[in-house]
Amino acid sequence: MKRANTCKKRLVIVNDRMQHGYTYELVRPKGRCFDPGFKPQLTPKQMLRLGVFGGKYMTDCTGEFPAGWFTRAKLCHERHDPGLNFFKVNASLPLSQWKRKGWIYKDDPRGWFQWYCRYYMGRRIEGEDERQIARWKAMRRHIAQIKMNCSKGDISCRPVQRQALLHWAYDSRKL
């Protein structure tokens, strides 16, 4: 007998520095029922513990996500600190540049990682999910470059590309 994928729908209300009164509905179970073409290697919790986005990314929206995500997360409330990143390098563009390039979706003003966190929690947005998954898939080109130019296991090779891959839920430590 097949078990139905049921999820009690839950409404999330966001009030942080970038969104006030934004609401969304969780329609899938947390961490499951992903698009078949979307297979991230890292959860948001794992990413935050490893060190991503210079520790600045999610400092004012901890109430939106499970408290466990922030246990041992490498965060810096004051500034973007590349030293908190796993590879100790800056692999981020300023948000202003992301906006200028049209990469920011109105519901996720912080970008891809915010979309991924909300998707992981169970939110789905038709059209936007497909766009973000396509952007995630496009990051594979960096995997190919690392494999072509680095010895397997040499995590000191191409640290900026490796850090960028961590930002996109690819575990570049294993390449």
Domain that holds residue 20: 10-140
In a domain, 5, yes or no: no
Number of folded domains that form the chain: 1
Specify the pLDDT at position 7: 61
Q: Is residue 128 part of a domain?
A: yes
Q: What distance, in Å, lies between the first and last C-alpha atoms of the chain?
A: 40
Q: Indicate whether 145 belongs to any domain.
A: no
8 A C-beta contact, residue 164 and residue 142: yes
Whether 86 contacts 52, CB under 8 Å: yes
Tell me the mean pLDDT per 10 residues along the chain, length 175. 60 94 96 97 97 88 93 90 95 83 88 96 97 96 96 95 97 94
Residues 15-45 as b or e (16 or more Cβ within 10 Å = b): ebeebeebebebebeeeeeeeeebebebbbb
Q: So what's the pLDDT on residue 1?
A: 42
Please report the pLDDT score of residue 50 as a whole number: 97
Scan for tokens 């692999």, then name that residue: 91
Q: Is 29 part of any domain?
A: yes
Tokens of 143: 């995997």
